[in-house]
């Protein structure tokens, strides 16, 4: 199979996926979509950050038992996971403020109050 056939198949799949996604119910308004985004971020991101920190600790500890090269790689992987967790925490803290600014009073319907 040559590269052109592969590219055509990928393009066809992408177009088909776009048509199917456009046909689904989706959300009725932008504010409802942003509310769903906030709900997803607030429920999912905290778990992902926790898992990243735990896995980073396990990788770092396992790397200390191995040889020098594996120890160095494990240290880099663990550091990358910790940085990813920190970025996740920043996103977790900034998304409510940004969405609150965009939506204003409608954002309180999502379960978040700008006043505290």
Q: What pLDDT does residue 51 have?
A: 93
Q: Where are the domains of the chain?
A: 28-110
Which residues, 6+ apart, have CB-to-CB distance to 78 below 8 Å?
56, 57, 59, 60, 63
The DSSP symbol for 110 reads G
Q: What pLDDT does residue 50 have?
A: 93
Which residues, 6+ apart, have CB-to-CB distance to 60 below 8 Å?
74, 75, 78
Tens digit of pLDDT at every position of the chain (116 positions): 577 778 888 888 877 777 666 655 555 667 777 777 777 777 888 899 999 999 999 999 999 998 889 899 999 999 999 999 999 999 888 877 887 777 776 666 676 655 55
Q: What pLDDT does residue 109 have?
A: 64
- Contact criterion met (CB below 8 Å) for 51 and 80: no
pLDDT tens digit sequence for 52-63: 999 999 999 999
């Amino acid at each position: 199979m040559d590269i052109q056939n592969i590219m055509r198949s990928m393009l066809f799949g992408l177009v088909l996926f776009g048509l199917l996604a456009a046909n689904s119910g989706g959300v009725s308004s932008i504010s409802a979509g942003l509310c769903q985004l906030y709900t997803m971020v607030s429920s999912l991101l905290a778990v992902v950050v926790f898992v990243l920190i735990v896995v980073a600790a396990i990788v770092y500890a396992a790397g200390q038992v191995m040889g020098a090269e594996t120890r160095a790689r494990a240290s880099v992987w663990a550091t990358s996971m910790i940085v990813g967790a920190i970025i996740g925490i920043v996103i977790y803290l900034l998304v409510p403020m940004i969405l609150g600014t965009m939506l204003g009073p409608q954002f309180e319907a999502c379960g978040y109050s700008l006043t505290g």
